Amino acid sequence: MADPMRIRANVVGDATEVKVLMNHEMETGLRKDAQGKAIPAWFIQNVAATHNGKTVLSAQWGPGVSKNPFLSFKFKGGAKGEKVLISWTDNKGDKRTDEATIA
Amino acid sequence: MNMNVKRREALKTGGSVTLFALIAAAGWAIPREAKAADSWNKAAFDTKTMDETTKALGGSTPVSSKDITFFQTPDIAENGAVVPIGVTSTIPKTESIAILIDKNPNMVAAMFDIPAGTEPSISTRVKMAQTSNVFALVKADGKYYVASKEVKVTLGGCGG
């Protein structure tokens, strides 16, 4: 299982701002190791954010997203104390879900 | 006749529910996470040009738009491995935002679906192989719009 994400969710006006920092190698599959062998691709493909069971953002990523990806977005609504759920799935089928409390 | 059709629909739906239950029981799918494991548009991520990308997404040639703006995006990036890119669209009914890097081995870096209620403004960090145009491709009300910004890269992000 991959390392946990760092998620921060804050109420800003009438919206909730979510900032996520994920832990992932995001290997492109184009790099070579010291022996000249290609390092296989390993990256997050799907990301979804939900609040109260409703999807507030979904994304498809390619290997062009940086290592340890950062993501920030805002959605309308959301109150202090409520939870925001972020989950991702990578190309090896590994997945992780973390939640944060809106502050 | 109408009844029959409905019965068939019900049978079909029943069938797929059972299948899903089986998959869930086998531990392949956890319903709460099912949304994240949607699908991945391999065709779109394999593209090398804007034309190919819009074709893979099933759209027409994008129209250049001044309503798409970049924020937190540098003019010069010292490290191509981590280039912050922020995109805001003020086009009504924005449905999705994609970030494309012209000179990367594969053009599409990320695609975001914006449901109603979420602001059409996202920011993330991408890799850039070299100095290149960054495109923000926005789908709004079924049409595609595009804006670009050149980012100079001092040190490429795809080397060893």
Written in H, E and C, the secondary structure of A42-98 is ECEEEEEEEECCEEEEEEEECCCECCCCEEEEEEECCCCCCEEEEEEEECCCCEEEE
> Looking at this predicted complex, what is its ipTM?
0.93
Tokens at A37, concatenated: 């062998």
Domain A6-101 belongs in CATH node 2.60.40.10? yes
A7, β-bridge pairs = A20
- Mean pLDDT of all residues in B141-157: 89
pLDDT of B12 reads: 56
The more confidently predicted of residues A18 and B33 is A18
In this prediction, residue B60 has a pLDDT band, given cuts at 50, 70 and 90, of confident
- A28 touches B: beta carbon within 8 Å: yes
pLDDT of A3 reads: 85
- A8 touches B: beta carbon within 8 Å: no
Q: Return the residue of B nearest to A35 by Cα.
A: B160
- A10 touches B: beta carbon within 8 Å: no
Of the candidates A15, A58, A95, the beta carbon closest to that of B38 is on A58
In this prediction, residue B59 has a pLDDT band, given cuts at 50, 70 and 90, of confident
Tens-digit pLDDT string for chain A (103 aa): 578 999 999 999 999 999 999 999 999 999 888 998 999 999 999 999 999 999 999 999 999 999 999 999 999 999 999 999 999 999 999 999 999 999 9
* HSE-CB for B55 with a 13 A CA cutoff: 8
Count CB-CB contacts under 10 A for residue A32: 10
CB B113 within 8 A of CB B39: no
The DSSP string of B96-140 is EEEEEETTSSSSEEEEEE--TTEEEEEEEEE--SSSEEEEEEEEE
- A50 touches B: beta carbon within 8 Å: yes
CB A15 within 8 A of CB A9: no
Report the alpha-carbon angle A39-A42-A44, nearest 5. Answer: 160
User: Quick one: DSSP state of residue B13?
Assistant: H
Q: What is the spatial distance between Cα B83 and Cα B77, in angstroms, rounded to a whole number?
A: 6
Report the alpha-carbon angle A61-A67-A71, nearest 5. Answer: 55
A27, β-bridge pairs = A42
B37, pLDDT greater than 70: no
Domain regions of chain A by residue span:
6-101
Of the candidates B82, B114, B124, the beta carbon closest to that of A71 is on B124
Tokens at B10, concatenated: 């019900």
Q: Which residues of B touch A (CB under 8 A)?
A: 32-33, 35-41, 44-45, 81-84, 86, 101, 104-106, 108-115, 117-119, 121-127, 157-160
pLDDT of B4 reads: 58
- Superfamily of domain B42-155 in the CATH hierarchy: SoxY domain (2.60.40.2470)
B122, pLDDT greater than 70: yes
Q: Which residue matches tokens 């493909």? A: A45
For B61-90, b/e burial (b = at least 16 CB within 10 A) is ebeebeebbbeebeeebeebbbbbbbbbbe
